[in-house]
Amino acid sequence: MTTFDLIIRNGKIVTADSIVSGDIAVKEGKIVEVSADKAIEGTAVKEINAEGLHILPGLIDSHVHFNEPGRTEWEGLETGSRSLAAGGATSFFDMPLNSTPPTINKANLDLKKERAEEKSIVNPYYWGGLVPENIADLKDLHENGVIGFKAFMSPSGIADFNNVDDESIFKGMKEIASLGSLLAVHAESTVICDQLAAEKQEQGKTTARDFVESRPIISEIEAVRRIISYAEATGCKLHIVHASSRKVVAVINDAKQRGVDITVETCPHYLSLTVKDLEEKGAIAKCAPPLRDEDEVEDLWASVAAGEINVIASDHSPAPASMKTITDNYFEGWGGISGAQSTLNIMLTEGYFKRNLPLEKIVALTSTNPAELFGLETKGTIAAGFDADITLVDLNEEFVLKAEDLKYRHKHSPYVGKTFKGNVKTTIVNGEVVFTNGEIVEK
Ligand X SMILES: NC(=O)N[C@H]1NC(=O)NC1=O
One residue of 15, 81, 98, 189 binding ligand X per CB under 6 A:
98
Q: Where are the alpha helices (DSSP H) in 41-90?
A: 77-86
Shortest distance in whole angstroms from residue 235 CB to ligand X: 26
Rounded to whole angstroms, what are the CA distances from 296 to 246, 255, 273, 342, 351?
A: 7, 21, 10, 21, 15
Name the residue with the smallest CB distance to ligand X.
287
Orientation of helix 166-179 relative to helix 217-234, angle to 10°: 50
- Closer CB to ligand X, 136 or 159, in the complex: 159
- Closer CB to ligand X, 176 or 287, in the complex: 287
Window of 12-20, 267-275, 315-323, 428-436 that interacts with Zn ion by CB under 5 A: 315-323
Window of 1-9, 307-315, 321-329, 403-411 that interacts with Zn ion by CB under 5 A: 307-315
One residue of 94, 308, 315, 387 binding Zn ion per CB under 5 A:
315
- Closer CB to ligand X, 54 or 65, in the complex: 65
One residue of 88, 336, 380, 422 binding ligand X per CB under 6 A:
336
Window of 18-26, 37-45, 128-136, 151-159 that interacts with ligand X by CB under 6 A: 151-159
- Closer CB to Zn ion, 33 or 75, in the complex: 75
- Residue 101 lies near ligand X (rule: CB under 6 A): no
Q: Count other C-beta atoms under 10 Å from residue 159's C-beta.
A: 8
User: 257: alpha, beta or left, given left = phi > 0 and alpha = psi -120 to 50?
Assistant: alpha
Quote the Cα angle for 45-430-241, to 5°. Answer: 155
- Residue 188 lies near Zn ion (rule: CB under 5 A): no
- Measured CA to CA, the distance from residue 129 to residue 279 in angstroms comes to 33
Q: Is 315 annotated as a binding residue?
A: yes
Please report, as residue ranges, which positions from 56 to 75 form the binding site for ligand X (by CB under 6 A): 65
Rounded to whole angstroms, what are the CA distances from 2 to 42, 44, 45, 94?
A: 5, 8, 11, 39
Q: Is 50 strand, coil or helix?
A: coil
- Measured CA to CA, the distance from residue 425 to residue 396 in angstroms comes to 11
Closest CA to 415 of 356, 352, 342, 362: 342
- Residue 350 lies near Zn ion (rule: CB under 5 A): no
Shortest distance in whole angstroms from residue 428 CB to Zn ion: 27
Q: Is 239 annotated as a binding residue?
A: no
Shortest distance in whole angstroms from residue 5 CB to ligand X: 38
Q: Is 65 annotated as a binding residue?
A: yes
Q: Are 10 and 16 in contact (CB under 8 A)?
A: no
Q: Are 415 and 14 in contact (CB under 8 A)?
A: no
Window of 15-23, 154-162, 410-418, 424-432 that interacts with ligand X by CB under 6 A: 154-162
Closest CA to 64 of 283, 337, 314, 380: 314
One residue of 25, 40, 158, 388 binding ligand X per CB under 6 A:
158
Shortest distance in whole angstroms from residue 74 CB to ligand X: 9
Bridge partners, 421 (sequence order):
398
One residue of 76, 129, 335, 370 binding ligand X per CB under 6 A:
335
- Could you say which of ligand X, Zn ion, none residue 287 binds, taking C-beta under 5 to 8 angstroms by partner kind? ligand X
- Could you say which of ligand X, Zn ion, none residue 157 binds, taking C-beta under 5 to 8 angstroms by partner kind? ligand X
> Amino acid identity, residue 157?
G
Window of 7-15, 38-46, 221-229, 309-317 that interacts with Zn ion by CB under 5 A: 309-317
Bridge partners, 394 (sequence order):
423
Rounded to whole angstroms, what are the CA distances from 91 to 66, 122, 243, 377?
A: 13, 5, 22, 13
Q: Are 77 and 340 in contact (CB under 8 A)?
A: no
Kindly state the number of chain residues that form the binding site for Zn ion, as judged by CB under 5 A. Answer: 1
Please report, as residue ranges, which positions from 159 to 188 form the binding site for ligand X (by CB under 6 A): 186
Q: Are 424 and 344 in contact (CB under 8 A)?
A: yes
Shortest distance in whole angstroms from residue 218 CB to ligand X: 18
x/- contact string, 276-295, with ligand X (CB under 6 A)?
A: -----------xx-------
Q: Is 142 annotated as a binding residue?
A: no
- Return residues touching ligand X (CB under 6 A): 65, 97-98, 156-158, 186, 287-288, 315, 317, 335-336
- Return residues touching Zn ion (CB under 5 A): 315
Q: Residues annotated in the binding site, as ranges?
A: 63, 65, 150, 186, 242, 315
